[in-house]
């Protein structure tokens, strides 16, 4: 069985059409977020685009434009806030991917999702996993995306490449995951989502 088929098999059977209410459980994070956002978090979705490069699985990541007011220059997945007209979080992830990197819905095979991840900017992120079929043409929206790159999934599955630090928020110490891939610092919610993906794939893809 190829690595791509193994990946699809791991996530097959998940109900990604309904809201992903599975969330990362951490009492300290929940307490800090309730203090900062008493009215609750806004929903957002990201797509984890996975492509098969000659049998090697890779993640597609983007670098946000340096002109943006929020998270400028940071590494992330295509995604954004849920908008009126989005039927579900999967549609949000697909729509945002089309807008940011030009990949059409027909070029994406949705295979599942991960636990939701809260952020300290007031969002609850729903990660949707999608396999890129064939060789889709990537056309970035320069107003949102500065550049894009791919990184081997095996790089992230290597625990030696996963750094765990501590961030203080309202005197509460919270774990922060970080990866350094070449010149790209991957941290925050994006790193947490990658870590969740790798945790699901331990022992499955090597």
pTM over 0.85: yes
Which domains does the chain show, CATH number per domain?
Answer: 3-152+189-200 (3.90.79.10)
SS (H, E, C) the chain: CCHHHHHHHHHCCCCCCCCCCCECCCHHHHHHHHHHCCCCCEEEEEEEEEEEECCEEEEEEEEECCCCCCCCCCEECCEEECCCCCCCHHHHHHHHHHHHHCCCHHHEEEEEECCEEECCCCEEEEEEEEEECCCCCCCCCCCCEEEEEEEEHHHHHCHHHCEEEEEEECCEEEEEEEEEECCEEEEHHHHHHHHHHHHHHCCCCC
Model confidence over 75-113: pLDDT tens digits?
999 999 999 899 999 999 999 999 999 999 999 999 998
Of 9-18, 33-42, 45-54, the range with the lowest mean pLDDT is 9-18
């Amino acid at each position: 069985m190829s690595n791509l088929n193994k990946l699809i098999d791991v996530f097959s059977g998940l109900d990604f059409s309904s809201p992903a209410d599975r969330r990362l459980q951490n009492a300290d994070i929940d307490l800090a977020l309730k203090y900062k956002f008493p009215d609750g978090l806004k929903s957002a979705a990201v797509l984890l685009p996975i492509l098969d490069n000659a049998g090697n699985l890779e993640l597609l990541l983007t670098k946000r434009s340096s002109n943006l007011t929020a998270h400028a220059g940071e590494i992330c997945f295509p995604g954004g806030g849920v908008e009126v007209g989005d039927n579900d979080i999967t549609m949000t992830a697909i729509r945002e991917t089309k807008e940011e990197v030009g990949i059409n819905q027909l070029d994406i095979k949705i295979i599942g999702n991960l636990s939701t991840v809260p952020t300290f900017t007031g969002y609850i992120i729903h990660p949707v996993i999608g396999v890129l079929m064939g060789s889709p043409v990537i056309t970035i929206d320069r107003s949102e995306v500065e550049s894009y790159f791919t990184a081997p999934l095996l790089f992230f599955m290597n625990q030696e490449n996963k750094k765990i630090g501590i961030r203080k928020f309202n005197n509460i110490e919270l774990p922060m995951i970080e990866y350094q891939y070449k010149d790209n610092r991957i941290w925050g919610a994006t790193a947490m989502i990658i870590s969740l993906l790798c945790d699901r794939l331990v022992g499955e893809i090597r």
